[in-house]
Amino acid sequence: MRALVSVYDKRGIEDLARGLVDLGWELVSSGGTSAALAAAGVPHVEVSELTGAPEMLGGRVKTLHPVVHGGILADRSKPDHVADLEAQGIGPIDLVVCNLYPFSSDPSIELIDVGGPTMVRAAAKNHAHVGVVVSPDAYGDVLAELRADGRLSDATRRRLARDAFAHTAAYDAAIVSWFDAVDAATPGAAPDAAVLPPTLHLTLERAGSLRYGENPHQHGARYRLAGQVSWWDGVVQHAGKELSYLNLFDTDAAWRLVHELAALGRGEAVAIIKHANPCGAALAAGLAEAYQRALDCDPTSAFGGIVAVHGQVTDEVAEVIADGPQADVIVASSYDEAALARLSAKRKATRLLSAPAPEPSGRQLRSLGGSVLVQDADRFLVPRSQWEVVTARAPTDDEWRDLELAWTLCARTTSNAIVVATAGQGVGVGAGQQSRVVAAELAVTKAGERARGGAAASDAFFPFPDGLEVLARGGVAAVVQPGGSIRDAEVVAAADAVGIAMVTAGGERHFRH
């Protein structure tokens, strides 16, 4: 039995090689792997000795040879294949252990491997007779099966072949993405070239199974883009039940929002999310106060929601949260031991997560059966310094601050959306309405008297003055909206008529579906 060993990731390769030699296998190797085996005293044959041809072109050609690929690809069930091997003096290769350079970590033309993928694909194609191993994580199981049975089962070889094709597919996808990035950076490239190339080649790795999908009868799992790191990879769950699909979906929304709020620089931030929409958010001098003010926005909806805390949950903060409604998830930067003990004891079902800051949102995909919608992430592109006052009265300093808070919350609320904020606190959220008027009515109704003197944001322009008039009747003093309606003049006139200060955000709309 003979194995060809050529790996970039050398974790565990010495133990595997020694195990194969102990079982009587002959090893063939090349390049850096051969050097590693030689240094470890593992007997093997150099590929160049096997082929009779030296490595050439700076290493570009070393395994691309009939002696190698004939030995891998021969179908031992076909007499003519066996005869060809005998005629050419080629010995069969029964196992290929090969993994490829992680191209995306340092991409360049010279790191586009040719011989490695060719060997991997050849062995995977001929998996009826040849085993192929691309991951060090599989070495232990492969060696154990060989020791127990003397061979790899048909099922094992098929599973390993599937992993091998996934490995080369991910490698090729990384190369295509690199070409797209280079092309997009080329002078004269189309503005959307980097975001929307002609084809997308995504490799997703399952990072963990979930309790269930959106509903208990649906399966759910979290995948991540191969070669990339998500903030979820750094999450530590300290207590509570297994996470479900919606727990992750809503927690991601909460964690990203609370970091956007903290970036406003107005104090400590807490956000409470329910069904991916904020039902409370606040900025305050301390986290305990910020939580209480966030909860005050809509304590009924906060039940079963997600609490996101931008900072450490101390025992003082935990005491306030524990006295609040049941949360499905609490996510924070960290917890002290007393806080964990308190929350674990009082909220046994609540998942307690600590997490790093979220990575920037990238390309977003949404499936439509056999089609996929693709867009880049929604970001705030027009800074507050470029907002335009369009009414006779300009906002006060306090109103400007609340407008910015309301605008941030509104952009992360399902459309149509209207949000009312006052004194650094969200007080009324109207989310997911077909009518902007109804969204405004919901926002001011939830805010009640707190709307008076507050600021409101609309995620899109007011097509008619009626939505603005609802806010005026609720006592809102300042409004931010994108602007751009053919009836902007009517809306501005309605604001001037009641003394509301209105600013437009340069036409920047923030619909969210």
CATH number of the domain enclosing 418: 3.40.140.20
pLDDT of 101? 80
465 and 325 in a common domain: no
Instruction: List active site positions.
Output: 125, 275
Does the residue 182 lie in any domain?
no
- How many Å apart are CA 244 and CA 218, to the nearest integer? 10
Look at residues 276, 255, 281 and name the one whose alpha carbon lies nearest to residue 407: 281
Strand-strand pairing, 501-504 and 388-389: antiparallel
Structure tokens at 487: 């009836």
Q: Measured at the alpha carbon of residue 508, what is the angle toward residues 260 and 414, in degrees to the nearest 5? A: 60
Looking at the domain assignment, is residue 222 inside a domain? no
pTM (two decimals)? 0.86
Asked whether residue 396 falls in the same domain as residue 308, the answer is: no
Cβ-based neighbours of 106, under 8 Å, separated by 6 or more: none
Question: Is the same domain home to 14 and 57?
Answer: yes
Residues 342 and 402 in one domain: no
Clarify whether residues 312 and 414 are in a common domain. Answer: no
The amino acid at residue 464 is: F
Main-chain phi, psi angles of 330, to 5 degrees: -120, 125
Residue 321: which of 277, 270, 253 has the closest Cα?
A: 270
Structure tokens given for 31: 């390049």
Question: Alpha-carbon distance 271 to 298, whole Å?
Answer: 12
Tell me which long-range contacts 303-307 makes (C-beta under 8 A, separation of at least 24): 304/274, 304/328, 305/250, 305/272, 305/273, 305/274, 305/279, 306/247, 306/250, 306/251, 306/253, 306/254, 306/272, 306/273, 306/274, 306/330, 306/331, 307/254, 307/270, 307/271, 307/272, 307/331
| Cβ-based neighbour number of residue 282 at 10 Å | 28
- Omega before residue 416 within 30° of 0, cis: yes
Domain that holds residue 288: 234-354
Domain membership flag for residue 328: yes
Q: For the beta carbon of residue 308, count every other beta carbon within 10 angstroms.
A: 32
* 181 falls within a domain: no
Please tell me whether residues 422 and 334 are part of one structural domain: no
Are 49 and 164 contained in the same domain? yes
Give domain status of residue 403, yes or no. yes
Q: Strands across the sheet with 327-335, in order?
A: 236-239, 351-354, 327-335, 305-313, 268-274, 277-284, 425-430, 418-422, 455-458, 478-481, 501-504, 388-389
Alpha-carbon torsion, ordered 238, 239, 245, 248, to 10 deg? -40
Q: Give yes or no: residues 418 and 467 share one domain.
A: yes
Number of domains in the chain: 3
Residues 345 and 394 in one domain: no
Classify residue 269: in a domain, yes or no: yes
Q: Which helix (H) or strand (E) holds 171?
A: helix 154-185
* Residue 340 sits in the same domain as residue 434: no
* Pairwise CA distance, residues 10 & 107, whole Å: 20
The answer to whether 462 and 481 have CB atoms below 8 angstroms apart is yes
Tell me: do 252 and 331 sit in the same domain: yes
User: pLDDT (tens digit, 0 to 9) for every residue of the chain, 513 residues total?
Assistant: 999 999 988 999 999 999 999 999 999 998 788 888 999 898 998 888 787 777 778 677 777 788 888 889 998 888 889 888 888 888 899 999 998 887 777 788 877 888 889 999 999 999 999 999 999 999 999 999 999 999 999 999 999 999 999 999 988 988 888 888 877 667 766 656 566 888 888 889 899 999 999 999 999 999 998 878 899 999 999 999 999 999 999 999 999 999 999 999 999 999 999 999 999 999 999 999 999 999 999 999 999 999 999 999 999 999 999 999 999 999 999 999 999 999 999 888 899 999 999 999 888 999 999 999 998 899 999 999 999 999 999 999 999 999 999 999 999 999 999 999 999 999 999 999 999 999 999 999 999 999 999 999 999 999 999 999 999 999 999 999 999 999 999 999 999 999 999 999 999 999 999
In this structure, the number of other CB atoms found within 10 A of the CB of residue 195 comes to 15
> What distance in Å separates the CA atoms of residue 175 and residue 118, rounded to the nearest whole number?
16
Sorted by sequence, the CB contacts under 8 Å of residue 191 that are 6+ apart come out as: none
Look at the chain and count its residues. Answer: 513
Q: How many Å apart are CA 1 and CA 79, to the nearest integer?
A: 19
Nearest to 218 by CA among 226, 210, 230: 210
CATH number of the structural domain spanning residue 47: 3.40.50.1380
CB atoms within 10 A of CB 374: 13
Q: From the CB of residue 337, how many other CB atoms can be counted at a distance below 10 Å?
A: 8
Q: What is the 8-class DSSP label of residue 463?
A: S
Domain-embedded: residue 292: yes
Whether 219 is in a domain gets the answer no
Shared domain for 333 and 397, answered yes or no, is no
- Three-class SS state of 333: strand
